[in-house]
Amino acid sequence: MKTHRVITIIGWLITGLLLFLWQEQYLPFHYEYMEQFRLFHYNTEYFIDHCSYPSGLMEYLASYLIQFFHLPYIGVGTITILLLLIGIGIQQIFKRIAAHVDMPLAYLLPALLLLFAGMDINYHLEGTLAFTLTVWLLNAQIRIVRPEYRIFSGVLLSWLLFYMTGPAFVLFALCSVIYEWHKQELPKMYAVLLLPVAVLPACYAYFIQHSEPLRILFLPDAYSNHKLEGQTILYYTWITLPLLFTLACLLNRWKKPVSSFVKGLSVSIQLLAVIIILFQGNEKYNSPSLTQVKELDYYSRNKQWDQILNMQTSSSNNIFSTCFKNLAMAQKGILADKGLHHKQLGNKALWIDWDQSSTVSTLLSDLYYAMGHIALSQRYAFEGVLSSEWEVNPYLFLRLIQTNLIFGHYNIAEKYIRFLEDTRYQEQAHAYRKFLYNDALLEQDKELGGKRKGVSGSKGLSEMQGLTHDLLQIAFANPDNQIVLDYVGMYILFEKNIPLFKMFIENFYEAPGLQPMPTHFQEAIVFSYESQPERWKEFGITEAIKKRFEEYKRLDIDSRLSPSLVNRLRSGFGNTYWYYYTYHK
C-alpha cells in the first residue's frame, strides 16, 4: 500500500512537470497576455463589491491571481497547480467509490479540457477555480457517512457554491444526486428533491432579482465573455464530471478480479490516450496566428524591439506583424535606414486600419504616441479600454496618464494616477505625480516635454485633412522627432509620390531628426534628383550611395536585356528604394 502511494505521488509530480513544460512550449505568452485585461485593487471597497453578487468571490480570487501572471512562470505554474488539483481530486473520488480500478484518463480528462478552454482569450480563470472547488467539495460530500447529513450538506454546499462560483453549483448538485442514487441508503425521493432545492437561490436571482440571464446563472457560459456565445469545450468539461461520477459508481459494482497484466495494459492505453488528446486538442484550440499576436503584443509592451524584428511571422503578407516590425524599427531609429530590409506591404502596413479590437487599439495608441500624435494616441487608448471585456487595461491607463499630462489636463491625469495607486501598478503611476500642475518640470522631461512640443506647435490635429497633414504639422513643430519624420517620409515613398517626397525633403533635409540623412531617403533623393546631381551633396548623399546607384542603374539596364540577371538584381538591390519603386506592385 505504501509503495502504491509513493508511485502515485511520483506519477503526479511527473504529470505536473510535463504539464508545466508543455505550457511553456505551446503557450509561452498566453498568461502574460491575459494579465493586461484584469486589474486587482487592494482596497476594502473592491472586496465588498465582489462579495455583493453570486460568483463575485471567485472573480476576486481570479483577479488576484492574474495580477501576478506578468512574472515569469507564475501563470503557467498557477494553471498547472489547479489542473493537478482537479486530477488528484477526481482520483480521490474514484478511490472512495471504486478503489479497485486505476483510471488516469478519467482523472486527467476534465483538466485537459479546461486547459484547452483556457487557450481562448475570452475564457475566465474563474471557470477553472470553480471546477477545482467543486471537485474537492464533492470529495468532502461523499465522505459523510450518515445519508441524512449528506442530503443536508448537499443543499448547503450547493447554495454556498452558487454564491461563491455561480453555476458550478449545478455540477455539485447533480453529482450529489448520482451518488445518492448509487448508495440507495434513503428513498430516492430525497435524492431527487436535492436538485430542485439546490437551485432555489439561482431561481430567486433570476425571477426576483433579474440579476443575470438564465445561461449565466445555470450554464458554463458564465465562465467566458458574456457578450459571446458559450464555448463548446466548456460544455464538454461540464458533461464529463457527472459522467465520470456515474462511471465510478458503475465500476464500484463490478467486482470481477482483473489480472496485473490487464491493469497495466489498461493504464498504458489510457496514458497514451491522454498524450494524443493533449496534442490533438492543442492543434484544434491553440491558434498559431493568435499565439503570434500575443508574442508581438508582449514584446511591444515590454519594448523588446529586437525580438519583434527577429520573429518569424506566420505569413509574409501579414499587415499586423509588418506594422509591429515597422514600429520596432522606428523605435530603434532605423525605419528609414532598414525598412526595406524587411518584407513591406506598402503604406497600409505603416499604420493599419482600426478593427475595434483591444490589441489593434493598443498598437495604434503606441504607434501614434511614438510619432507624437497625442490626440490619436489618447483616442485609441480609450478605444482599447472600452473594447476589452472588463473595460480595464492598466497598460493603456498609464498611456492615458501620459497623454493627459502632455495636454496639460492635470486633473484627469491625477484621477488615473489615483485609480492605479492601489494596484500592482502603484509605482509606475506614482512616478507621474511629480509632473502634476508643474509645466516647467514636464517640459524639461525628454519624453513628455518633447511630445508636448509637437502638440503645442501644431493646430487642429483632428485627421480632418488626412493623417499625413497632421504628422507634417507635428514634424514642423518638433523637427527633432525622428520617428514622425521617418514615418511620413516612408509613407510618401511607399506611395511612390516623388513630387511630394521632393517637397518633404526640401523642407526637412536640415531637420535634426534627419541627421545624418537615412539610407532610404538618400536612395530616393538620388533617384528623384537624378538630373540635378549637383544637389546631392547638399542633401547629405554619401559616396557609397552614389556608387551603389550607378551600379544599380547599370545592372538594371542589363537585366532588361538579359532576364537571367533579374535574380542578381534582386539579391543585390532588393532592399533599396530603387528596386522597390521599379518592381514592387
CB 476 within 8 A of CB 457: yes
Question: Which residue is listed with cell 448520482?
Answer: 178
Q: How far apart are CA 487 and CA 154, in angstroms?
A: 65
Q: How far apart are CA 429 and CA 452, in angstroms?
A: 19
In tens digits, what is the pLDDT along the chain, a chain of 585 residues?
577 788 889 999 999 999 999 999 999 999 999 999 999 999 999 999 999 999 999 999 999 999 999 999 999 999 999 999 999 999 999 999 988 888 899 999 999 999 999 999 999 999 999 999 999 999 999 999 998 899 999 999 999 999 999 999 999 999 999 999 888 888 877 778 888 999 999 999 888 877 788 889 999 999 999 888 888 999 999 999 999 999 999 988 776 766 777 778 888 899 999 999 999 999 999 998 899 999 999 999 999 999 999 998 765 568 999 999 999 999 999 999 999 999 898 888 899 999 888 999 999 999 999 999 999 999 999 999 999 989 999 999 999 999 999 999 999 999 999 999 999 999 999 999 999 999 999 999 999 998 998 887 655 555 556 788 889 989 998 899 999 999 999 999 999 999 999 999 999 999 999 999 999 999 999 989 999 999 999 999 999 999 999 999 888 887 776 766 677 888 889 999 999 998 887
* pLDDT (tens digit per residue) in 217-240: 999 999 999 888 888 999 999 999
- DSSP states along 171-239: HHHHHHHHHHHHH--S-HHHHHHHHHHHTHHHHHIIIII--S-HHHHHSGGGGB-TTSPPPHHHHHHHH
Q: How many CA atoms lie within 13 A of 59 on its CB side?
A: 22
- Rg value, the chain, Cα: 31
Residue 460 has a pLDDT of 52
Residue 429 has a pLDDT of 96
Query: What are the Cα distances from residue 470, in Å, to 122, 349, 477, 498, 503?
Result: 36, 18, 11, 20, 16
Q: How far apart are CA 270 and CA 263, in angstroms?
A: 11
* pLDDT (tens digit per residue) in 53-67: 999 999 999 999 999
Q: What single-letter DSSP state applies at residue 123?
A: B
Residue 438 has a pLDDT of 96
The reported pTM is 0.91
Q: How far apart are CA 397 and CA 419, in angstroms?
A: 9
Residue 469 has a pLDDT of 86
